[in-house]
Amino acid sequence: MLAILVLLPILAFVAILLGAPARLAALGASVANLALGLAAAFSWKQSCWSLSLPVLEKPALHLAFGFFSDGMNVIMVLLTVIVTVAAVLTGKAPEGREKLWYSSSLLISAGALGAFAATDLFFFYAFHELALIPTFLMIGILGRGERRVIAWKITIYLGLGSIVLLAGLVWLANLAGTFDIPTMVAAAKDGSLTIDAGTQKSIAALLIVGFGTLVSLFPFHSWAAPAYASAPAPVAMLHAGVLKKFGLYGLLRLAMPLVPAGMQAWLTPLLVLLLGNILWVGYVTVSQKRLDGMLGNSSVMHMGYIFLAIAALAAFPENDLAKPAAILLIFAHGVSIALLFGLSDRIERATGTLDLDELGGLAKSAPKLAFLFGIAAMASIGLPGLANFAGEVLVFLSAFRGFDGMSSLGPVQIACILSIWGVVISAVYMLRAYRNVFQGPAVKSTESAADIPFADRIPAALLTIALFAVGLYPNLLLQFLK
């Protein structure tokens, strides 16, 4: 079943190459995937959602997909299928480019699904790489602004990050003698796989830098905002919303169980870097003059909170709150940033600009767009009732898990307190942007701007419903995490 999820977008991609109508094929595959994904998620305990095909005999390499017993990747798969449908429905392919446009979305989605569903280290890595290629191409060919420079920048950055990551993964696989992730984790748990502290520290460094670069961990973040600003909307939605989360998922899936001592050893640097994401990049975001740049930087900033949960887990391995908090926030952020990028594309098509100084009063001519964007903005700054709040609060609580008030504050608690200042920074830039775009008197670009048409409201509504569903009742997702 999970294999079908991965296979469907690839089949649709092949169909497009063979001449099938691109939009229809992409839409069919992604909607089918959404249905399948929901069905799979809400029944994953009843059956064993896994498949394993031997690829190589020696060493044993299996093309294997499955839900892990901790339920983490159930949520990642859900996130992917939801955002994919929205991405396929968002934006408009340039004339004559429909094939490239829709097949990119399909391949990114397939790659992400493959990476999240893989239980085999090799395919976990390979599928992510597969998804990066269309991302680079779309920016390089159909991007805005200095698209070539930006495409190269993201290629170099993510390529270097991937190589560092690869080194860490290869090292791990060598020590474990297997590619099978559940086997590795079980071995680490029961003590049959022991990695000495020094090696753990080295591997953890590779994984933090490697995965970290892919998630725009400070100071490896500067590819992200320009790339999202330049990328066509579906690519920005899929990358910022889904694919980027691969790095966080990887840290939780591999680094935490396999090299916990190594992660602990890097605790302080990790805390400093994540504060770089939240405070440093937070203020970079405040100074943005364009909506797309602001959204791109805000997405970098919000990664800091998820790293905070990872740091809380590294500092206190019995922390039961950290992993669910991180996953919940990954989901919430993925959906909300996809919604924001999708709507900002709509704003640009309606007004011809994303420059904050050239916009104003858009709520008058486009009230529905204003309403949806308002929800997305509020989600992004952590308003209760929308998914991000539950994730953020659980992250903060997880950082204080194990602290009993008897001693003075530890480094994780101090970092958490500083991180909470981020909720003020987020409110500053998000409300300022909303104020500049939608409120105040109408200006030339917005006077006669069209409201969001019905076709574009469908993907926005899908994402909005997801934000509300999880935000109003987080147990909807938390039930998967055991």
Partner 1 sequence: MNLAWILLFLPLVVAAVNQLVLRKNPLVPWVSTGSALATLVISFLLLGKEGTTGFNWATIGDFSLQIGITLDSLSTGMMIVVTGIGTLVHVFSLGYMADDEAKSRYFTGLSLFMFSMTGIVLSSNFAMTFIFWELVGVSSYLLIGHWYQKDSAADAAKKAFITNRIGDFGFMVGILLVWSITGTLAFGEMAIPETVSQGMITAAILCIFCGAVGKSAQVPLHVWLPDAMEGPTPVSALIHAATMVAAGVYMLFRVQVSLGADVFDGTAGNVIAWIGGITSLMAALMATQQDDIKRVLAYSTLSQLGYMVMAVGLGGGEAGMFHLFTHAWFKALLFLGSGAVIHACHHEQDIWKMGGLLRKMPITGFTFLIGTAALIAVPFVTSGFYSKEEILAAAFGKNKFLFGIAVFVAFLTTFYMTRAFVVAFLGKPRDHGSEHAHEVGPLMFVPLVILAAMAIGSAWLTGPLSAMRPVHEHGHAEGHAIILGASIASLVLGLLAGFALYKGKDKNPVSIPLFRNRFYIDAIYDNYLVRYFQNVLAAIVHFFDELFINGLMVGGLSRAAATTGNLFRRVQSGSLQGYAFAFGLGVVLVIYFTVFH
Give the CB-side neighbour count of residue 420, counting CA atoms within 13 A: 12
| Residue 432 contacts partner 1 per CB under 8 A | yes
Residue selected from 18, 19, 57, 174 as contacting partner 1 according to rule CB under 8 A: 174
Query: Would you say 273 and 329 are in contact if contact means Cβ atoms under 8 Å apart?
Result: no
Tokens of 210: 């490697």
- One character per residue 48-67, x = contact with partner 1 (rule: CB under 8 A): -----------x--------
| Residue 42 contacts partner 1 per CB under 8 A | no
- One character per residue 127-156, x = contact with partner 1 (rule: CB under 8 A): --xx--xx--x--xx----xxxxxxxx-xx
In the DSSP assignment, the letter for residue 47 is: T
What are the respective helix, strand and coil percentages of the chain, to the nearest 5? 75, 5, 25
- One character per residue 313-352, x = contact with partner 1 (rule: CB under 8 A): -------xx--xx---------------------------
Residue selected from 20, 261, 267, 423 as contacting partner 1 according to rule CB under 8 A: 423
| Crossing angle of the two packed helices 454-472 and 72-89, in degrees rounded to 10 | 160
Q: How far is the CB of 61 from partner 1 (least distance, A)?
A: 9
Using CA atoms, how far apart are residues 209 and 355, in angstroms rounded to an integer? 34
248 or 386: CB nearest partner 1: 386
Q: How far is the CB of 460 from partner 1 (least distance, A)?
A: 14
194 or 479: CB nearest partner 1: 479
Residue selected from 36, 50, 70, 97 as contacting partner 1 according to rule CB under 8 A: 97
Binders of partner 1 among 257-286, rule CB under 8 A?
A: 280-281, 283-286
Strand partners, 355: 290
| Residue 442 contacts partner 1 per CB under 8 A | yes
Smallest CA-to-CA distance from 374 within 301, 454, 430, 332 is with 430
| Crossing angle of the two packed helices 367-380 and 322-351, in degrees rounded to 10 | 150
Tokens of 79: 């996130």
90 or 288: CB nearest partner 1: 288
Binders of partner 1 among 225-254, rule CB under 8 A?
A: none
Phi, psi for 408 (deg, rounded to 5): -85, 170
Q: How far is the CB of 197 from partner 1 (least distance, A)?
A: 24
Binders of partner 1 among 359-398, rule CB under 8 A?
A: 361, 363-364, 378, 382-385, 389-390, 393-394, 396-397
Smallest CA-to-CA distance from 119 within 45, 50, 59 is with 50
Using CA atoms, how far apart are residues 138 and 155, in angstroms rounded to an integer? 12
